[in-house]
């Protein structure tokens, strides 16, 4: 296939020069030159195919709740998955198998589960974003993460082929899924295997999980926890004990409620967030000799930026 210029690609599932700030919970992000909004597997496949022929890479955007996107023009093609959504369920004895399209909101999966007494994803209660984003980052809480309930993942590979992966053979890590680190691929469907339990029991567990989030600034514009917890400790605790709460750069502020959250309290830029994160890391390093790594995913953050570790 010969190289196409961006404008050779037409159709309702591709748009040009789209402001990404509208698609991130932080409300920051520059203009994407090429922005795909596929609504089914074929459109998703076409987007991946175009990226394969015309770009070195592509970036998958789900709910935008765990990403920091540069303020600059983004040349990497962005594929928004939220148009590919829906859940189907099959109950077999005391098990239920949920086929979730990758762009399905996690909260929709959770509310269906709690209504029916389906257990296994309670650890994800209160987590924003999509199913695809949740599995790519193995989202969860201190008691568990979504990877433990994944039976299958259907993907489109960089070469356009379709693959199915056995979730139980994946070496899930803390906030990571190696499947999406090794090669360029994109999930389009995830099958969760849950257990059918008493509705009250599942609702009770979810309530407890939600109460564990009471210390978090859920009504502010944030991207959840900025840093991963270092082994055996909490990034929030270290940041708090290093005096980071309330620190600001431009319109970005370290939350007074939980130090591992950065709030956009006044039209901040990605650079404000990066600079603030860099100061926080430095403080924790100076006080505790501990290195904090980003939990958030980044796009377009060049090497040499204030905190370009991601």
Name the minimum Å distance from CB 297 to ligand EPU: 12
State yes or no: is 177 an active-site residue: no
Name the minimum Å distance from CB 282 to ligand EPU: 17
Whose Cβ is closer to ligand EPU: residue 141's or residue 248's? 141
Catalytic option among 123, 225, 268, 280:
225
Name the minimum Å distance from CB 143 to ligand EPU: 7
A 10 A CB-CB count for 117 gives 17
**Two tokens, residue 204:** 């009770």
Distance of CA 227 to the CA centre of its chain: 13
Q: Which secondary-structure segment (H or E) carries 278?
A: helix 270-288
Name the minimum Å distance from CB 255 to ligand EPU: 8
Whose Cβ is closer to ligand EPU: residue 235's or residue 262's? 235
State yes or no: is 295 an active-site residue: yes
State yes or no: is 225 an active-site residue: yes
- SS3 label, residue 207: helix
Whose Cβ is closer to ligand EPU: residue 259's or residue 276's? 259
Whose Cβ is closer to ligand EPU: residue 34's or residue 138's? 138
Rg (CA), the chain: 20
Binding residues (CB under 6 A) for ligand EPU: these are: 141-142, 212-213, 215, 224-225, 228-229, 234-237, 240, 258-260, 295
- Sort 211 into a burial class: Cβ within 10 Å, 0-12 / 13-18 / 19+: exposed
Whose Cβ is closer to ligand EPU: residue 191's or residue 264's? 264
- Sort 232 into a burial class: Cβ within 10 Å, 0-12 / 13-18 / 19+: exposed
Whose Cβ is closer to ligand EPU: residue 51's or residue 131's? 131
Catalytic option among 105, 175, 281, 283:
175
Name the minimum Å distance from CB 35 to ligand EPU: 25
Contacts of 245 (CB under 8 A, 6+ apart): 239, 254, 255, 256, 259
Name the minimum Å distance from CB 240 to ligand EPU: 3
- CA-CA distance, 196 to 94, in Å (whole number)? 5
Tell which phi-psi region holds residue 81, choosing left (phi > 0), alpha (psi between -120 and 50) or beta. alpha
- CA-CA distance, 17 to 32, in Å (whole number)? 5
What residue ranges in the chain does DSSP mark as E strands?
14-19, 31-36, 59-61, 67-69, 78-80, 87-92, 95-101, 118-119, 140-141, 144-145, 150-157, 162-166, 185-196, 248-249, 252-254, 262-264, 297-299
Residues with catalytic roles: 175, 225, 295
């Amino acid at each position: 296939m010969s190289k196409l210029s961006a404008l050779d690609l037409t159709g309702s599932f591709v748009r040009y020069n789209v402001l990404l700030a509208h698609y991130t919970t932080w409300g920051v992000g520059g203009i994407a030159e090429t922005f795909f909004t596929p609504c089914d597997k074929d459109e998703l496949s076409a987007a991946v195919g175009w990226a394969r022929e015309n770009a070195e890479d592509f970036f998958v955007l789900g709910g935008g709740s765990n990403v920091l996107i540069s303020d600059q023009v983004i040349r990497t093609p962005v594929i928004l998955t939220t148009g590919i959504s829906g859940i189907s369920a099959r109950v077999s004895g005391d098990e239920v198998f949920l086929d979730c399209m990758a762009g399905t909101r996690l909260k929709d999966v959770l509310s269906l589960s709690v209504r029916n007494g389906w257990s296994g994803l309670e650890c994800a209660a209160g987590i924003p974003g999509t199913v695809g984003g949740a599995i790519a980052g193995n989202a969860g809480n201190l008691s568990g993460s979504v990877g433990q309930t994944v039976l299958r993942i259907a993907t489109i590979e960089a070469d356009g082929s379709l693959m199915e992966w056995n979730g139980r053979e994946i070496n899930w890590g803390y906030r990571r899924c190696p499947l999406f680190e090794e090669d360029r691929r994109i999930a389009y469907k995830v099958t969760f295997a849950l257990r059918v339990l008493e509705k009250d029991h599942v609702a009770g567990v979810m309530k407890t999980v939600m109460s564990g989030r009471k210390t978090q600034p859920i009504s502010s514009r944030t991207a959840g926890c900025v840093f991963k917890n270092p082994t055996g400790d909490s990034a929030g605790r270290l940041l708090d004990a290093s005096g980071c709460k309330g620190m600001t750069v431009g319109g970005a502020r370290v939350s007074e409620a939980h130090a591992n959250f950065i709030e956009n309290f006044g039209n901040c830029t990605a650079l404000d967030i990066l600079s603030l994160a860099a100061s926080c890391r430095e403080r924790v390093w100076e006080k505790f000799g501990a290195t904090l790594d980003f939990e958030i995913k980044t796009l377009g953050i060049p090497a040499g930026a204030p905190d370009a570790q991601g």
